[in-house]
């Protein structure tokens, strides 16, 4: 703690030469498990982006979600930015803008708190942008353009949409108690439920039983009750998701139905956002990017949830064009900051 | 603690005269919030039970679930038994049997632990019976006979069945993560989910929104997310159950569907137990008692979940005859102990 208070974290700035007078932009992706910061050069031109994108440095730190770790989030953010700058050979005085896409930012008060933290580190001419982590995920697919819809499905799930004129909408993202059934947690919890139901006679037999009990080293479905309540973390249950896919691929009907239902749930979240924002235009056929993020949506050999979600959405909105981002959300955040800055300048 | 260790808890035995040489039986209902002990005279005859049942004393204490409070459960049990005996004017030497129906007893090791505790208090000739709390609930409806099925639906839900020849089976009772959807918690969680879905465009509008937000003093559906995760206790969410019933009675289709689905879930738990135990006989028409316990199954003015569950079960098993117990589970436990003892004697 003392280290941060004394600002020794920035000592490297006196030890390394500042590289020319080029300016850089910092993009941050702040999650509940890790925080990633990338340092990219500030590209003046508004032409096409260079390929590959010029990422000067990348640093990783722990959780920066204020809801989870409180004021420690500030130290984490400061540390990860200092690390990225140190690696890149640039100093704080070269930073033109910081764009932070962080989970747990839902209200203007959340944004203002983080802006205040950043303002203690950076002088007034540095532009500071603080957004929800879904914005970074969208921008990682659209390369900085804030238009379209992003569907995130990992441990949890949320659909977020944005329009060119600044409107936004979300669906799901309320956690498992409030029905995020298409998430990795939701899918795995339904699989565990199916095992209990098969065991007590309420549901059909399923290969999920042998598959999951073997994986967890349990001998009976009864023991799942104790296993589940021993540690209520969502990620621990969501980690069973690949077993559900394997069972479905091997022909298990119960697992197959869970995945089919989840595809409908995920597609419904996107449709609700697209509908509310009118992303599809008046005739419902306007093109819009649909950015797909998270472990649940990544392509599997046979049972490909991401592809099925797209198929389901395309029936209603043929203009949806899916993007599986090649860039990570921190790069998306940097590009987003770059776009915000260009809008202010021109 | 010292009080119990010194056994001063039993000091009343020296202060009050022992009433005749009549024998008594203690029945205990041990739950996760309260523990109730009743003291009843030991009825030698195997004829019809007197009406009203002769309950000599009744004492209340806190949680006696070992899974929740550890070894403190032992002190609670000892205290509540001493209180009941003290009130009744009897001493420990009058106790013929103790029957404890307590939640958290699922394995023989759980039973043995409690029997060992009780054995330190009562001499070898006192019969000690330790059972799951569902047995006390069943016996409160069958007046001590261990035959039939009990459906409990309060905050949680479970169906338990027993046969004359000592077989037993259960369904549900695995908690909300593992799909106890007919419980008070399950019904309320579905109502909260419906509000979120109406809010973000995934589901139809419902009067649950205004009803529940008003009750919780919240101004927007968004705030439900924070409310839900601020305190994850199941009972807090289950307490919203009556609002769901009120909305359904006022004609709300979303609330109505949640209750209809829950009726099917609850009936399915009973059917699974009846099927596995063959309680309905070979032709499926044998009569068997179906004891209905818990707030969800209590009669409402119009929307009567208990009645609908019975209707649903009766279609498959016309021999099911519902019993809404007049006696409490602690009395059921005492009668159960009485029956166990009679079996040993005759």
Contact state of B172 with A200 under an 8 Å Cβ cutoff: yes
Percentage helix, strand, coil for chain B under 3-state DSSP, each rounded to 5 = 50, 15, 35
Q: Answer yes or no: do A136 and A160 share one domain.
A: no
Categorize the per-residue pLDDT at A27 as very low, low, confident or very high, splitting at 50, 70 and 90. Answer: very high
Contact B29, B136 (CB under 8 A): yes
CA distance B276 to chain A (A): 7
CA A38 to chain centre: 16
Q: Which residue of B has its CA nearest to A231?
A: B177
Q: Answer yes or no: do B73 and B94 share one domain.
A: yes
pLDDT (tens digit per residue) in A78-107:
999 999 999 999 999 999 999 999 887 777
pLDDT at B3: 45
Q: Answer yes or no: do B316 and B338 share one domain.
A: no
Q: Answer yes or no: do A311 and A235 share one domain.
A: yes
Spatial distance between the Cα atoms of A330 and A334, rounded to a whole number of angstroms: 6
Q: Answer yes or no: do B241 and B305 share one domain.
A: yes
- Pairing verdict, β B148-153 and B127-132: unpaired
Contact state of A193 with B171 under an 8 Å Cβ cutoff: no
pLDDT at A280: 94
Q: How far is CA B169 from CA A157, A223, B31, in A?
A: 37, 16, 20
% of chain B beyond a pLDDT of 70: 93
Residue bearing tokens 């956002």: A273
For residue A165, pLDDT over 70 is answered with yes
**Which residues of A make CB contacts under 8 Å with B?**
106, 169-172, 174-179, 189-190, 192-193, 196-197, 200-202, 224-225, 228-229, 232, 237, 268-269, 272-273, 275-276
Categorize the per-residue pLDDT at B230 as very low, low, confident or very high, splitting at 50, 70 and 90. Answer: confident
Q: Count chain A–chain B contacts defined by CB atoms under 8 A.
A: 98
pLDDT (tens digit per residue) in B92-121:
999 999 999 988 777 788 889 899 999 999
Where is pLDDT greater, at A210 or B48? A210
Give the pTM.
Answer: 0.89
- Range from A95-99, B63-67, B250-254, B307-311 carrying the lowest mean pLDDT: B63-67
Q: Answer yes or no: do A257 and A336 share one domain.
A: no
pLDDT (tens digit per residue) in B170-180:
999 888 889 88
Spatial distance between the Cα atoms of B194 and B260, rounded to a whole number of angstroms: 15
Determine the average pLDDT of the residues in B152-173: 93
For residue A233, pLDDT over 60 is answered with yes
Categorize the per-residue pLDDT at B234 as very low, low, confident or very high, splitting at 50, 70 and 90. Answer: confident
For residue B6, pLDDT over 60 is answered with no
Contact state of A175 with B229 under an 8 Å Cβ cutoff: yes
Residues facing B100 on adjacent strands: B28, B130
Q: Answer yes or no: do B173 and B278 share one domain.
A: yes
Spatial distance between the Cα atoms of B189 and A60, rounded to a whole number of angstroms: 37
For residue A46, pLDDT over 70 is answered with no
Contact state of A201 with B174 under an 8 Å Cβ cutoff: no
Q: Answer yes or no: do A120 and A204 share one domain.
A: no
3-state secondary structure of B320: strand
For residue A158, pLDDT over 90 is answered with yes
Contact state of A193 with B201 under an 8 Å Cβ cutoff: no
Q: Answer yes or no: do B134 and B217 share one domain.
A: no
Contact B255, B248 (CB under 8 A): yes
Q: Answer yes or no: do B23 and B55 share one domain.
A: yes
pLDDT at B19: 60
Q: Alpha helix (H) ranges present in A217-325?
A: 223-230, 234-238, 241-249, 253-277, 305-316
pLDDT (tens digit per residue) in B325-344:
999 999 999 999 999 988 88
Total structural domains within chain B: 2
Q: Which residue of B has its CA nearest to A179?
A: B193
Q: Answer yes or no: do A270 and A216 share one domain.
A: yes
Contact state of B189 with A170 under an 8 Å Cβ cutoff: no
| Chain A residues closer than 8 Å to B192 by CB | 177-179
| Chain A residues closer than 8 Å to B171 by CB | 200-202
CA distance A189 to chain B (A): 6
For residue A49, pLDDT over 60 is answered with yes
CATH of the domain at A212: 3.30.420.40
Residue bearing tokens 């001998």: A219
Q: Answer yes or no: do B189 and B301 share one domain.
A: yes
- Residues 6 or more apart whose Cβ sits within 8 Å of residue A286: A279, A280, A319
- For B285, the token pair is 């028409």
| Chain B residues closer than 8 Å to A275 by CB | 201
CA distance B68 to chain A (A): 12
Categorize the per-residue pLDDT at B2 as very low, low, confident or very high, splitting at 50, 70 and 90. Answer: very low
Which range marks the domain in which residue A282 is found? 146-324
| Chain A residues closer than 8 Å to B201 by CB | 169, 171, 272-273, 275-276
């Amino acid at each position: 703690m003392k280290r941060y208070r004394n600002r020794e974290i920035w000592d490297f700035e006196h030890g390394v030469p500042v590289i020319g007078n080029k300016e850089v932009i910092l993009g941050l992706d702040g999650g509940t498990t890790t925080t990633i910061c990338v340092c990219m050069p500030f590209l003046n031109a508004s032409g096409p982006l260079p390929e590959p994108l010029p990422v000067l440095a990348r640093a990783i730190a722990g959780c920066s979600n204020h809801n989870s770790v409180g004021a420690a989030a500030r130290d984490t953010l400061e540390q990860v930015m200092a690390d990225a700058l140190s690696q890149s050979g640039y100093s704080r005085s070269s930073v033109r803008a910081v764009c932070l896409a962080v989970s747990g930012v839902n209200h203007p008060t959340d944004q203002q708190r983080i802006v205040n933290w950043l303002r203690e580190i950076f002088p007034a001419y540095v532009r500071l942008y603080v957004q929800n982590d879904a914005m970074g995920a969208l921008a990682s697919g659209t390369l900085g353009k804030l238009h379209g819809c992003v569907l995130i499905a990992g441990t949890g799930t949320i659909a977020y949409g944005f329009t060119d004129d600044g409107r936004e909408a979300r669906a799901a993202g309320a956690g498992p108690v409030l029905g995020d059934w298409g998430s990795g947690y939701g899918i795995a919890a339904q699989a565990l439920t199916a095992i209990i139901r098969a065991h007590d006679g309420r549901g059909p037999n399923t290969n999920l039983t042998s598959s999951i009990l073997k994986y967890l080293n349990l001998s009976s479905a009864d023991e799942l009750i104790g296993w589940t309540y021993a540690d209520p973390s969502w990620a621990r249950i969501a980690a069973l998701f690949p077993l559900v896919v394997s069972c479905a691929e091997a022909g298990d009907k119960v697992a197959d139905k869970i995945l089919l239902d989840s595809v409908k749930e995920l597609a419904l979240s996107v449709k609700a956002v697209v509908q509310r924002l009118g992303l599809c235009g008046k005739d419902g056929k306007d093109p819009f990017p649909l950015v797909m993020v998270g472990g649940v949506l990544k392509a599997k050999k046979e049972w490909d949830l991401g592809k099925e979600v797209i198929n389901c959405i395309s029936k209603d909105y043929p203009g949806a064009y899916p993007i599986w981002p090649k860039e990570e959300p921190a790069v998306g955040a940097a590009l987003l900051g770059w776009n915000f800055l260009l809008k202010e300048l021109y």
